[in-house]
Amino acid sequence: MKHALRNKIKERIAGLSREEKRRLSDEILSSIERLPEFKKAKNILLFWSLPDEVFTHDFLEKWHKQKCLLLPAVSGDELELRYYEGDEKLQAGAFGIREPQGKPFTEWDKIDMTLVPGVAFDCNQNRLGRGKGYYDRLLPKISGTKIGVCFPCQSVESVPCREWDVKMDFTVKK
């Protein structure tokens, strides 16, 4: 069931042009900037977007000097968090995703907000990931606001979930 849903969403995203993904990403991230949670957040965990995700690269560059921004880096079966200090300091990591280098950030209780990617999100704030479980292992450590970010076509009626899946506090899709 998860595999079929992932394929369905992949097809939907493939139907979006690069320009449409860019426009939607700008609208989504602009909505996030207006949130009271964002305005008061000091430490924010984001993600370096892949081509089929809400485009975060410009957002990271825009905010990294005003807020402490963190990005995940794959370390074995876990995600380590590291400071984002600009695009030029990223290197290709696992799965070809650009990651920051340097010392891990481990003060989980100081993360005020997390922007969480996913393949699909439902109206009950459930998230379907890519299937490797990285965020399933990471999110329980973080107590700050968890916001799912996705294109409108990634919103579905129901996502299959298990007892260990962490719900989002809310989802921003536009």
User: Tens digit of pLDDT for each residue in 43-72?
Assistant: 999 999 999 999 999 999 999 999 999 999
Give the mean model confidence (pLDDT) for residues 139-159. 96
Distance from C-alpha of 103 to C-alpha of 58, rounded to nearest angstrom: 24
Give the mean model confidence (pLDDT) for residues 112-120. 97
Q: What are the structure tokens assigned to 16, written together?
A: 């979006």
Q: Which residue has the tokens 């081509």?
A: 51
The confidence band for 167, taking pLDDT boundaries of 50, 70 and 90, is very high
Please report the DSSP string for 111-170 in residue order. Answer: --EEEE--SEEETTS-EE--SS-HHHHHGGG--SEEEEE--GGGEES-----TTPPPPSE
Is residue 19 scored above 90 in pLDDT? yes
Give the mean model confidence (pLDDT) for residues 91-100. 88
More confidently predicted of 1 and 19: 19
Is residue 93 scored above 90 in pLDDT? no
Is residue 174 scored above 90 in pLDDT? no
CATH classification code of 2-172: 3.40.50.10420
Is residue 140 scored above 90 in pLDDT? yes
Q: What is the pLDDT of residue 96?
A: 82
Q: What is the pTM of this model?
A: 0.94
The confidence band for 171, taking pLDDT boundaries of 50, 70 and 90, is very high
Give the mean model confidence (pLDDT) for residues 124-143. 93
Q: What is the DSSP letter of 105?
A: B
Give the mean model confidence (pLDDT) for residues 153-168. 92
